[in-house]
Amino acid sequence: MGDITRLMEQSEPLSASGASQGGDDFLWGFWYPVLRSNRIRGRKLVTSTRLEVPLVLGRDAAGKPFALRDVCPHRAFPLSLGHYDGQTVECAYHGWRFDAHTGQCRMVPSVTQDSKLQCDRIYAGSFPCEERDGYVWAYFADLESRSPGAAVPRAAPELPKYGGAYRIAHLSANFACSMDTAMIGLMDPAHGPFVHRAWWWRSRRSIREKHKTFEPIPQGFRMSSHTPSANSAPYKLLKIYGGDVTTQIDFVLPNMRTEEIRCGKYWFTNRTTITPIRRDLCRLDFCAAWNLFFWFPLVAPLLHFFGKRFIAQDQRVIELQKPGLEVQPRMMLIDDADRQARWYFQLKSAYLASQQSGTPMSHPMEGPVTLRWRS
């Protein structure tokens, strides 16, 4: 009975829509990647959807990106079907014009000179934009973002880089699941030998016990700097440089996992984000930068080849998991392998509670902790 009792204490079924997981609630007040920068050129208007918000994006005459809610506040007509002159977006239904960056209404053609309508008090939703690492990021303060001049508390995230020349690569994929389901997979350390079995990664024969130390960081947690696992083939390649290899992995709300691998003056950093498109569909964006093996031109093609295969394996698991989640939405998270998933849900719940109460966010971690699992 003792073993059974300990197992029950270490495991907890969590509902995919329960309060303990934060449900499928979107997290507002964060930057999210919306599009690759190369998708927006000239005066072309491009559409996208994030957090179930329809967006229309473009660039002004100086090349600065903008994002408006793709809904005219007059009759809810898509602004993306209208005309853009480099400064204002004109709705194709009644010709109303909106400033591309602020969303402020500049003209209503049907209004007469003696009308009391104050056009400048009408706003289409607008979202602050910044470009980082080949992406256009938008800041989602709320669903409609019709608060002109609202403060944006911080800059859009940027992948760490450590000077000098470097190369950069991007990968992306859609996952037919909720953001929470995808996030659990992103921080799951135990599925690798089963889902990602390959000669260049891991196999069942390579399973061994791991122990990693984690520490709290603002709105997230960190796997402290450590020597990479000996059963990960890609890390072994860095031994060519002869120095000590270390890796550090951060997770920060709402959706970002960042890894920094260092070997003396050589480095490889990567960031993965999971952004909800709808409640049942999300987008994975992977970005990597490096200065190691700079002399080898095939690093980027190889990264694309193996990375796509790696992501496709996760996509297949999610597709196969969907029927089970429909009849059993409650998921079991056990210590220690699933503790990171627990922290994610606790961080999410704490953030939502702080937004509702207006009080500082309470961090679920009190200090460093060491987790042990086999993978």
Within the chain, which residues score under 70 in pLDDT?
1-24, 148-150, 197-206, 229-239, 242
Query: How far is it, in rounded angstroms, from Cα 262 to Cα 270?
Result: 12
C-alpha pair distances (Å), 232 with each of 159, 183, 200: 23, 22, 8
Query: How far is it, in rounded angstroms, from Cα 207 to Cα 232?
Result: 11
Q: Which amino acid is at 30?
A: F
pTM value? 0.89
C-alpha pair distances (Å), 191 with each of 182, 204, 269, 375: 13, 10, 22, 7
Contact yes or no for 266/241 (Cβ under 8 A) = yes
Residue range 10-43, pLDDT digits in tens: 444 443 333 344 456 899 999 999 999 999 999 9
The angle at the Cα of 374, spanning 20 to 178, to the nearest 5 degrees, equals 35
In DSSP terms, 53 is beta-bridged to 50
Which residue carries 């990597």 as its tokens? 288
What is the per-residue pLDDT for 3?
Answer: 38
Q: How far apart are the first and last CA of the chain?
A: 27
What is the per-residue pLDDT for 204?
Answer: 61
C-alpha pair distances (Å), 31 with each of 22, 35, 306, 371: 19, 12, 28, 30
